[in-house]
Structure 1
Amino acid sequence: MAISALELAKYILNKSDKELSNLELQKTLYFTELDYIENFNEHLIADDFEAWQYGPVVREVYGEYRNYGANSIDKPEKETLLGLDEKKLEVINQSIEKCNKKSYWKLVEESHRDGGAWKKSFKEGKKEIISKALIKQEAKNNNGF
C-alpha cells in the first residue's frame, strides 16, 4: 500500500531530530523510499520523483513547502499517522535518523551517485520523471547509503 509523499513528508518533519529545509526533506523522502524498497521489495511512496538539479524531488511536496526557501520548515501542528505496521515504521524511522546525521551536501552527493536512478534520469534544464523501475533497481543494487 503506497502512501502519498505529502503524508510521509509531514511524518518526517514530525519525527526528525533536526529542522529540515525543503532540500533535506526531499532527500529524506528519497532515501526513505530506497530503504523501504530494500526491506520490503515494494514502493512506499505513490507519487513520482522527478530528476531536478539537486536531486530527486516530489513536485507536490516541493510546492507545499517552497515558500520556506532554504529555511527550515515548521513542524506540522499534529502528528501524522501513516497506518503502517511497526516493522515498516521502524524502517522509516531509521532512515529518517540516518538522514538527520548527514550534512545537506552529503545528501546531495549521495543522491547523485553513479549508477543511481537520478543520474540515469537527469537532463539539464528538464525535470524528467524518474521511473519507479530505476528507483527499485537503485534500492536493490547499491543502497549502501
Structure 2
Amino acid sequence: MDALRVARRIVAQYGSERFLTNLKLNLLVYWCQVEALRETGAPLFEDAIAVGERGPVETDVWDEYASFGSRMIRQRDEWKEPTLDASAERIVAHVVDTLGALTAIDLLEMSGADDGAWRCAKDRGSATVDVDDILTSADMQRTVPARTLAGCVDKVTREYPNALRLLENS
C-alpha cells in the first residue's frame, strides 16, 4: 500500500467531518504509520517519509493536495476510493478518532518533539524518517498531549460560551 491511498481514504471517510488541510492530512498519515508500527510491528505503507522543514511529509500526498494550500481539502474523487483491509481501516479510524480533532499546529508539535523520529532524522541530516527512526523514538509511546490549541478553544467555548462569538463580531 502507498501513503497516498491512506490519505485518500482519510479524505473519503472523514473529510466531511474533520477540517483537513494538506499539512494536517500529511501529519495524520504519518501517525497512521506510527500506529501501524505500534499495533502490528509492520509499516502501513512503504513510501518514504520525507524530513520536511517543520515535520514529516509524505511527498506524494503533499503533491496531490498542494493545490488546496492551507484551505480545507474538499472531496473530489476520493468518494470512489475503495476501503482498505480491515486492519488498515481500524488503524486509520483509531488515528482520526484520537488525533483528528487536533489542529495542524498541535500535530506539528507532537511530530516535532525533541525525542521523536522526525527530530532524530533531521538532527542527523537524513532526508527521510525511516521505520527504524520511528521504532526507536518516543513517538511509539506518545499520546495526545493534555494541552493543545484545539483543547484550549474547546475549553473556552464551554466555559465562556459567548466569548468567541463576541470576538467573531468585533
CA distance in 1, matches of 2:76, 2:126: 28
Unpaired runs of at least 5, structure 1: none
Name the CA distance, whole Å, in 2 between partners of 1:76 and 1:44: 24
Q: Residue 114 of structure 1 corresponds to which residue in structure 2? A: 114
Q: Say which is worse superposed, 70-79 or 13-22, in terms of deviation.
A: 70-79
Separation in 2 of the partners of 1:60 and 1:127? Answer: 19
Unaligned runs of at least 5 residues, structure 2: 145-170
Over the matched positions of the two proteins, sequence identity in percent amounts to 20
| Residue type at the aligned position of 2:60 | E
Letter in structure 2 aligned against 1:47: D
On the 8 A contact 2:33/2:44 being kept in 1, the answer is yes
Amino acid at match of 1:35: E
Partner in structure 2 of residue 64 of structure 1: 64
AA in 2 matched with 1:7: R
Q: Secondary structure at the match of 1:122?
A: helix
- 1:116: Cα distance to partner? 0.8
Q: 2:2 aligns with which of 1, 4, 28?
A: 4
**Equivalent position of 1:142 in the other structure:** 141
Distance 1:81 1:42, change over 3 A: same
Distance 1:121 1:43 in 2: 17
Change (3 A) 1:101 1:9: same
Q: Look up the equivalent residue of 1:144 and give its one-letter code.
A: T
Matched with 2:98 is: 98
Tell me, yes or no, if the aligned pair for 1:121 and 1:128 is still in contact at 8 Å: yes
Q: Does 1:44 align with 2:44?
A: yes
* Larger CA Rg, structure 1 vs 2: 2
Shift of residue 83 of structure 1?
Answer: 3.8
Cα deviation for residue 68 of structure 1 reads 1.1
Cross-structure match for 1:22: 22
Report the TM-score when normalising by structure 1: 0.86
Q: Aligned-pair distance for 1:141?
A: 4.2
TM-fit CA distance, 1:134: 0.6
The SS at the match of 1:36 is helix
What residue identity is the alignment partner of 2:122? F
What is residue 133 of structure 1 aligned with on the other side?
A: 132
What's the CA shift for 1:19?
2.9
Contact 1:5 1:46 in 2 (8 A): yes
Equivalent residue letter for 2:95: S
Given the two structures, how large is their TM-score scaled by the length of structure 2? 0.74
The residue type paired with residue 39 of structure 1 is E
Please give the alpha-carbon distance, in whole angstroms, between the structure 1 residues aligned to 2:4 and 2:134: 19
Q: Using CA pairs under 8 Å that are at least 6 residues apart, name the structure with larger relative contact order, 1 or 2.
A: 1
C-alpha contact 1:36 1:43 (8 A) present in aligned 2: yes
